Structure 1
């Protein structure tokens, strides 16, 4: 077993009968979504942020995992929430948003989904799957706030990029399976995931209730950036709105 980095551990809060599953992103950790988790817990919700398999340890550990392993990580968290909650919402940053979209397409009981700078097509990264060597430079910590740093890998396994591309392709084909309410956050300037991804998601889902919110003061890791308070406020409003429905 690889040692988990300090700050990369899974996060759980037991609260009321409404569960919130939050997923971090590719090469990232739960540190990137901890402010959201804490805000939701203060709101009384039951929260689970799993550590995706192969993340929060070493790039060599991540290299041995597949996108199916990452799906299994969020599915396990979903089962934990279902045992305690009557309703479950899914939230995710970057690839975590991709996983959240997968969950919403797969599990019709999910009450709503909030993707934040979710990835379904990253041409610049997809072109690196045949890069020479096992690792390329890090993609983490794309944050506008100069005082904030993301806890993420300093190298990206090339093999894992191929797994991410496979996951994005899979989810892109399933967007029309999403019918639950959706609240999409997108940074206007993002140096990792092209903002157009969120526009495609908005146009492709079959949700009757859908909204796209632009973030003007954040880069990719918006959950740690200068719009994080707005993300907290708007998502809490979303949970309240769709908790009080049937």
Structure 2
């Protein structure tokens, strides 16, 4: 879904939803319209959601989680979103929505945040600014959240461990900060988020702060705690503050 303002003076912003509310491109556009930002907004549906939902819908996703949350859920959804992004950018260029090589803005919530962080680390598309909200920090964090929510133990294998090594971005912050200049990155964290490991997120923030400082771009990384915000933030009192901070970041860093 695309939202086009009357006047466009900034590069496009691509936005990914998460597994919970908002859990579709339509719901994310309603929750975060970003009308203040004079940029084309492109709301992407994650793989296995919306029109690409598997037969059985959410029940099938639950079955996949119980069978192998890493290889049957995280891999096709999060890694699938990362793999699709270059084609999205090429389409925007072909449609005249942006110049070739121009840096896009990127937003991601929860699992969409994991896709965003990995996209920053892998440099497959140029990204100028980004905001993650209550993000998973990689497969290890997603498995931890699954185990916490279900009480089940995840059976790691060689393929899932390799996927964790690639996707756990706390170990890849030097890659994220290696662009010149590094992407302007804001991490928004809900004070009442009981899904994502707060310790894991703090470790990522500390590592990013060091990497951005080493790149002489400390001002281009910030983190912010949104008071009274749970993991699923749409239609919550904190939604207005999320809108304000996200819009302000993309206005400051096109």
Fold match (TM-score > 0.5)? yes
Q: 1:50 pairs with 35, 44, 50, which one?
A: 44
Shift of 1:129: 3.2
Report if aligned partners of 2:79, 2:115 keep a CA contact under 8 Å in 1.
no
1:160-189 residue CA offsets vs partner (Å, 9 max, x unmatched):
xx79x7488443432321122111100111
Match of 1:89 among 68, 92, 105: 105
5 Å-filtered alignment, 1:42-121, equals: 42-56=36-50, 57=53, 58-59=57-58, 60=60, 63=64, 66=76, 67-83=78-94, 84-85=97-98, 86-107=102-123, 109-120=126-137, 121=141
Q: Tell me, in whole angstroms, the C-alpha distance in 1 between the residues paired with 2:48 and 2:105.
A: 24
Does the 8 A contact of 2:11 with 2:40 survive in 1?
yes
Unaligned runs of 5+ in 1: 1-10, 131-161
Separation in structure 2 between the aligned mates of residue 228 and residue 242 of structure 1, nearest angstrom: 21
Residues 195-222 of structure 1: per-residue CA shift (max 9 Å, x gap): 3333222212233221111111210022
Partner residue in 2 for 1:21: 14
Distance 1:172 1:48 in 2: 27
Pairing 1:1-246 to 2, within 5 Å after superposition: 11-15=1-5, 16=8, 17-26=10-19, 28-38=23-33, 40-56=34-50, 57=53, 58-59=57-58, 60=60, 63=64, 66=76, 67-83=78-94, 84-85=97-98, 86-107=102-123, 109-120=126-137, 121-122=141-142, 123-126=144-147, 128-130=153-155, 166=164, 169-179=167-177, 180-205=183-208, 206-207=211-212, 208=217, 209-243=220-254
RMSD, matched Cα: 3.0
TM-score with structure 2 setting the length? 0.67
Taking structure 1 as the reference length, what is the TM-score of the superposition?
0.69
Deviations 1:79-105 (A, max 9, x none): 334552244111110011111111122
CA distance in 2 between partners of 1:204 and 1:173 (Å): 8
Provide the secondary structure at the position in 1 that maps to 2:223. Answer: strand
Distance 1:222 1:187 in 2: 8
* Unaligned runs of at least 5 residues, structure 2: 65-71, 178-182
Q: Secondary structure at the match of 2:127?
A: coil
Note the C-alpha offset of 1:52. 1.1
Q: Give the helix-richer structure, 1 or 2.
A: 2
Q: Following TM superposition, by how much is the alpha carbon of 1:61 offset from its aligned partner in structure 2, in angstroms? A: 6.9
* Secondary structure of 1:183's aligned partner: strand
Is the CA contact (8 Å cut-off) linking 2:37 and 2:250 kept in structure 1? no
Contact 1:223 1:231 in 2 (8 A): no
